[in-house]
């Protein structure tokens, strides 16, 4: 009988330890998501308050306004070369930017399309050899305000230290992103923090 009691006590103790461990893990993950959420939400709109220039701009495709901002930077001579990362494999430049002819005398040789990357991590990895081949000493990283926190951290962790990276966020839909947009990005950032930066 005493052996049965001690066995039951051991099972209860084990269950309570598992419950505590699971509870602590859930609390830890929740806090981490909360902090990621706060950092994403507070990303400043540097591109609206400061004129920026660099050797190259790397535009991450996805949300609206990013590619057009890259072309504006090139047309206004804020950058010498434009890299558009994450383009569909068969896409043509005129399909990506149908209003290209309105930009005047842009040289298409100053625009490089990265057709291989499919993720933010892939954008960083595929952009490195292009940036190095173009001899860019610094880049403007162009992506949406919501995506900038994760993108910048991924590029900063991947790129060589001798290449300076400046944030150049754009507003895709609205200035203040929706709660669920930021939450989804916080979850992605948490996942990326485990292996990409």
**pLDDT tens-digit profile, the chain (197 residues):** 566 666 566 667 667 777 788 888 999 999 999 999 999 988 888 888 888 999 999 999 988 789 999 999 999 999 999 999 999 999 888 888 888 888 888 899 999 999 999 999 999 999 999 999 999 999 999 999 999 999 999 999 999 999 999 999 999 877 888 999 999 999 999 999 988 88
Within a domain: 131 = yes
Domain that holds residue 134: 46-195
Residue with structure tokens 């009691």? 5
- CA distances 134 to 61, 65, 162, Å, are 20, 24, 14
Residue with structure tokens 């860019």? 136
Within a domain: 25 = no
CATH of the domain at 167: 3.40.50.620
The structure tokens listed for 151 are 């993108």
Within a domain: 32 = no
Within a domain: 129 = yes
Domain total for the chain? 1
The DSSP output letter for 119 is: S
Within a domain: 149 = yes
Global pTM value:
0.86
Within a domain: 17 = no
Within a domain: 93 = yes
Question: Under DSSP, is residue 19 helix (H, G, I), strand (E, B) or coil?
Answer: helix
Residue with structure tokens 């591109």? 47
Count other C-beta atoms under 10 Å from residue 81's C-beta.
22
């Amino acid at each position: 009988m005493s052996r049965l009691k001690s066995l039951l006590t051991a099972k209860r103790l084990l269950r309570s330890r598992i419950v505590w461990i699971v509870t602590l893990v859930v609390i830890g993950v929740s806090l981490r998501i909360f902090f990621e959420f706060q950092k994403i939400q507070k990303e400043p709109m540097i591109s609206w308050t400061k004129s920026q220039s660099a050797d190259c701009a790397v535009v991450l495709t996805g949300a609206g306004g990013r590619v057009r901002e890259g072309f504006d930077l090139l047309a206004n001579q804020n950058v010498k070369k434009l890299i558009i990362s994450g383009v569909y494999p068969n896409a043509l430049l005129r399909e990506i930017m149908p209003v290209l002819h309105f930009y005047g005398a842009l040289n298409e040789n100053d625009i490089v399309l990265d057709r291989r990357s499919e993720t933010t991590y892939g954008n960083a990895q595929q952009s490195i050899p292009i940036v190095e081949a173009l001899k860019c000493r610094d880049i403007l990283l162009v992506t949406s305000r919501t995506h900038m926190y994760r993108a910048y951290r991924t590029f900063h962790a991947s790129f060589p230290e001798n290449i300076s990276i400046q944030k150049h966020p754009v507003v895709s839909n609205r200035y203040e992103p929706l709660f669920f947009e930021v939450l989804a990005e916080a979850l992605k950032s948490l996942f990326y923090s485990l292996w990409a930066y």
